[in-house]
Structure 1
Amino acid sequence: MAKIVPEDKARQGRWGWHALRILIAGLLLAFIAWGAVEIYGEVIKGPTTGQSVPQAPATGQKPAQGG
């Protein structure tokens, strides 16, 4: 038989500090992972220079003409 509990004493549980700490820790870990990926993306992009050197065609070959 079910136990009858008065309405003023019935509760689902405590406020949930433990769950809040877990959620905050997960959010911090997500930010750390995001930062690591941003840094890794900048590293693998490599150095870029604003100057590009056009390559001349090899001797004996004519440049391709479109049309």
Structure 2
Amino acid sequence: MPKTVPENEARQGHWGWHALRILVAGLLLVFIAWGVAEIYGVLIKEPSTEQQHVPQPPGTEQAPAPSGQPQ
């Protein structure tokens, strides 16, 4: 025979301060990890993306390499 449980005792647990603290702590950890990833991403940028192309003076261009076919 199944046990009869009154309605006020059959409810699920309510959201308390403990659950709220866990959710806030998790959110803070996510923001910290995101900040570290952003800083790391800035630090590892390739130097070639930060350098500007310096044009060579006229007359210093190199001749094209021979293609091996007679003209």
Q: Please tell me the TM-score bracket, short chain as reference.
A: 0.5 to 0.7
Larger relative CO (CA 8 A, sep 6+): 1 or 2? 1
Aligned-pair identity in percent equals 70
The alignment of Structure 1 onto Structure 2 pairs a total of residues equal to 60
Q: TM-score, normalised by structure 1?
A: 0.61
1:23 is aligned to 2:28: no
Distance in 2 (CA, whole Å) between partners of 1:63 and 1:16 is 75
- CA–CA separation in structure 1 for the residues paired with 2:33 and 2:9: 43
Unaligned 5+ segments in structure 2 are 66-71
| TM-score, structure 2 normalization | 0.59
SS in structure 2 at match of 1:8: helix
Which letter does structure 1 place at the counterpart of 2:27?
L
Aligned to 1:53: 54
Cα RMSD after superposing both structures = 2.6
